[in-house]
Amino acid sequence: MVLFVALFGLAVNPFSAFAKDWYFKPAKNHQPATTEPEYEALLKKYDGIYIGDSSKKNCF
């Protein structure tokens, strides 16, 4: 019985999490950098920023 409970607890974990590697693609010819559409969607969903207004010269 104890073994069953322990194995069931490992199989059904409500606190599981996963990580994603995030990266950008360096651009050539002085163009802004880009990233994959999947990551752009995540940035938009969570109000993230990886590139600002390219018409302004701001340093972060």
Number of domains in the chain: 1
Residue 38 placed within a domain? yes
Q: What is the residue range of 38's domain?
A: 18-54
Domain annotation covers residue 45:
yes
* pLDDT score for 45: 92
Query: How confident is the model over 13-59, as pLDDT tens digits?
Result: 556 677 777 777 787 888 887 888 888 898 889 888 877 777 887 77
Residue 6, pLDDT score: 52
What percent of the chain clears pLDDT 90, i.e. is strictly above it?
2
Cα dihedral 56→57→59→60 (10° resolution): 10
Q: Please name the residues in contact with 20: beta carbons below 8 A apart, sequence gap of 6 or more.
A: 39, 42
Check if the beta carbon of residue 32 is closer than 8 Å to that of residue 54: yes
Task: Tokens for 2, please give them.
Answer: 């104890």
What confidence score (pLDDT) does residue 12 get?
A: 56
What is the dihedral sign for C-alpha 49, 54, 55, 59? positive
Would 27 be classed as within a structural domain?
yes
Q: Would 10 be classed as within a structural domain?
A: no
